[in-house]
Structure 1
Amino acid sequence: MIEFRSLTDDHPDLAHSPLLRAALLTLRYAQAHGSIGLTKTKTFKRVFVHWAVEHFDWPGKSAAEMFRYSKVINEYDFPPLEVLHYLLITLRLGRHFKGEFRLTRRGSDLAQAPAQLFAELIPFFVLKIDHASYARFQERPFGKWDVWMNVINVEADHGTTERALFAAFYGEEHDWDNAGWREMAAFSSCVLRPLEWTGLLVQTREERSGKHVHHVFKTPLWRSALKLDTDGMLQPVSVQ
């Protein structure tokens, strides 16, 4: 069972969520400007895409790095914004009207209510979206969220690696340098990345013996926002 706890608007752990931050910025931008312009294909116009790249502070996609390779960035070049646009429309926080993205009344209300927006946006994104649809490879890992999150709750409690997490579900024989790399890529894209985008997990990367090792940690937001069946299995954090 997965339960998201209710938080307050001023809860400090909400700051760990890149997706929530991006949603608040987008809603408030549309509120302040009256709307966001759309292209003929109903994507956000580049002027807003560039603003989003500069202000979202997205992990691994800094403005300096993105603009280093291209001075022209479209919505589909910035996947977090493309996914967020879909979420805001699907949840009816915004709508397309006469070539513009405009907030609904509910979107305007949630622009000033971070905790309520988190409660609307994050469970829907994690549990309801087909994460393979925007991944590089459209392959889905075998499993379900209830099992993934309850096992990650224990395995990553004091930090682990991407490969160790994968092995906990699917066995030790898979690795990035053998035939199991596609299964690992699907797990990373459809399970770990969504949890990182929401701010429930954070990953750090290092090079060890010529290989890139991804470390995975639960954030304070995981601990404050989630109630899981395996919570009773966790070891208390010792305080020195």
Structure 2
Amino acid sequence: MIKYQDIADGDPVLDHSRLLKAMENAFEYATAHGGIGLTQTKAFNRKFAHWMADHSPWPRYHTDELMTLNKVLNEWDVPHAMVVHDLIILAKFGRHTKGKFQISKKAQHLACQRGAFFAKIAETYLFEYNHARNARSEFAAPGNWDIFLNIINVEAEQGLTEAHLVKTLYGLEKRAHVIDREYYDHVGFIFTHVLQPLSWLGFLAETSDGMVDVPHRH
């Protein structure tokens, strides 16, 4: 498994990680409320989902934006709330008990060491998390993190898009006036499984001109 360089707890580079901030928000809420409330199906309840949206590190996932699409906010309506729930289970940061998710004392201690906490989150999210959970397709393109990171480490210096990376990795390009399923399958995979996780963790910075479609994201 790829190992990270140690990051000091006070290093400002950690502030670029929106996922770290979302996890810290969840821990803060759990501490203040004696845990995180659960539904009967053991999803995070609406009260917490709404709170996570109110405190979202992502503008596009803030309450005002999400409520344009939803009458109420469930866990699955707030993308980072769902990912945080998945990760705290996968990383064994606590457990479901008596209608709440309780953060363990060990996890609370780790959260006080911001650099180590980030490393655990990043390792779990990149290498253990099932990113297909957030995908619209079951398609899986060939490749692994050694290949993806080595290429992105070079290409991202000057900025890249999903389209650029798909061409570099697989030799596929968008053709004008043609709906190319193979091309869009690869673009979707690269975004969901590679670029979005790296951006959420802060390894990449995503910029756009206000649009969310592929040609405008860098």
Q: TM-score, normalised by structure 1?
A: 0.82
Q: Residue 182 in 1 paired to residue 185 in 2?
A: yes
5 Å-filtered alignment, 1:102-121, equals 102-121=102-121
Deviations 1:63-100 (A, max 9, x none): 21112232411001112211210110121112100111
Higher strand proportion: 1
Whole-angstrom distance in 2 between the partners of 1:157 and 1:200: 12
Using CA pairs below 8 Å that are at least 6 residues apart, which structure has the higher relative contact order?
Answer: 1
Give the conservation status (yes or no) of the 8 Å contact 1:23–1:84. Answer: yes
Q: Is the 8 A contact 1:36 1:102 kept in 2?
A: yes
- Correspondence for 2:7: 7
Write the distance in 2 (CA, Å) between the matches of 1:71 and 1:9.
39
Question: 5 Å matches for 1:131-146?
Answer: 131-146=131-146
Consecutive unaligned residues in structure 2, runs of 5 or more: none
Conserved in 1, the CA contact under 8 Å of 2:132 and 2:138?
Answer: yes
- For residue 42 of structure 1, give the secondary structure of its aligned residue in structure 2: coil
Shift of 1:52: 0.3
1:167 corresponds to which residue?
167
Tell me the amino acid that sits aligned with residue 215 of structure 2. Answer: V
Q: Is the 8 A contact 2:46 2:75 kept in 1?
A: yes
Question: Residue 128 of structure 1: CA displacement?
Answer: 1.8
Is the contact made by 2:166 and 2:173 (CA closer than 8 Å) also made in structure 1?
A: no
The residue number in structure 1 matching 2:61 is: 61
Aligned to 1:197: 200
The CA distance in 2 between the partners of 1:70 and 1:125, in whole Å, is 27
Q: Which amino acid aligns with 2:32?
A: A
1:213 corresponds, among 189, 197, 215, to: 215
2:166–2:186 Cα contact (<8 Å) kept: no
Q: Is structure 2 residue 52 aligned with structure 1 residue 48?
A: no
Matched residue, 1:20: 20
Structure 1 stretches of at least 4 aligned residues deviating more than 6 Å after TM superposition: none
Distance, in Å, in 2 between the alignment partners of 1:203 and 1:69 is 23
1:156 counterpart residue number: 156
CA contact (8 A) 2:163 2:214 kept: no
Separation in 2, partners of 1:43, 1:50: 13
What is the CA distance between 1:212 and its match in structure 2? 5.3
Q: 2: distance between equivalents of 1:66 and 1:5?
A: 36
The answer (yes or no) to whether the contact 1:141–1:190 under 8 Å persists in 2 is no
**2:163 touches 2:173 (CA, 8 Å); kept in 1?**
no
In 2, the alpha carbon distance for the partners of 1:114 and 1:165 equals 32
**Structure 1 residue 177: Cα displacement:** 4.4
Q: Whole-Å Cα distance in 2 between the matches of residues 38 and 15 of structure 1? A: 29
SS in 2 for 1:197: helix
Deviation at 1:207, TM superposition (A): 8.2
Instruction: Give 1:160 deviation, angstroms.
Output: 2.1
For the residue of structure 1 that corresponds to 2:197, the secondary structure is: helix
TM score, norm. by length of structure 2: 0.90
Q: CA deviation at 1:148?
A: 0.3
In structure 2, distance between residues paired with 1:191 and 1:63: 26
Consecutive unaligned residues in structure 1, runs of 5 or more? 217-240
- Corresponding letter in the other structure for 1:21: K
Q: What is the CA–CA distance in structure 2 between the aligned matches of 1:183 and 1:126, rounded to whole Å?
A: 18
